[in-house]
Amino acid sequence: MEWGMKNRLSQLIQKDGRAMFLPIDHGYFQGPTSNLEEPGKTIEPIWPYADAIMLTRGVLRAAIDPAITKPIILRVSGGATMARRDELDNEGITTSVTEAIRLNASAVSMSVYVGSEREHQTLMSLGNLVNECEDYGIPTMAVTSVGTELGKRDARYLALASRIAAEIGARVVKTYYCEEGFEKLVRGCPVPIVIAGGPKVDSEFEVFKWIYDALEKGAIGVNLGRNIWQHEHPVAMAKAVRAVIHENATPKEAQDVFDAVKSGKAD
């Protein structure tokens, strides 16, 4: 592995082998998502607790302070919206690698839709992206998307999608956590796995628990957005999630961190 690739990966994956990515790219297909209408303001109090921020070039250029010191994971795929929910898999590359370099991105990310009508299209796009990024030492993170077909979030499907993405050359894979068979999924994927946050949930303890379980079963971290910035207490959530990932906090200990920050008993 070339020095540049190693350097960029070391910015994303910390010395403890763990990673906490903060995605705010939801608007690329959802539009002005709740609590993300003004993304710069949304992440201002919470970005210090993340290891990297994932977003599109439009939001990066328009809403993020150039003095920010966090690594950027640039979302480079798109072309589908919630206005056509049945065609969310109809994505292509929207942002060039040249633009990623110009924006000083530490990595790029794109979605793949294994098993969908446009499986071939998205997998070929991933291959082409990897080919170009490798020339410049930029890691590619593949996102195993399921669109609106939430029933696909089982170990067999996610293991297939994750392994295919790794085989094509993704340096990191973002996928969903599943209680049954997640260890097998991780074992079958030769590159690091971060877990997607999924839909917003009502209980913060539930979030801490599945993050903890996923780490115990081999994931290196999370790519978690809505369960942080859509929460009533986003800073408390960010600190508690970081405690699970980088301080090996149990769900109970993470809940204690959350409660202390929420109540003002801790900074």
Active site residues: 174
CB 166 within 8 A of CB 189: yes
The set of residues, in sequence order, having a beta carbon less than 8 Å from that of 105 and lying 6+ positions away, is 72, 73, 74, 138
Residues 237, 205: Cα–Cα separation, whole Å: 10
Q: Helices (H) and strands (E) in the chain — how many of each?
A: 12, 10
Residues 213, 251: Cα–Cα separation, whole Å: 9
Question: Among residues 91, 140, 93, 95, which one has the least CA distance to residue 116?
Answer: 91
Q: Which two tokens stand for residue 150?
A: 């939430």
Per the rule left: phi > 0, alpha: psi between -120 and 50, beta: everything else, 31 is left
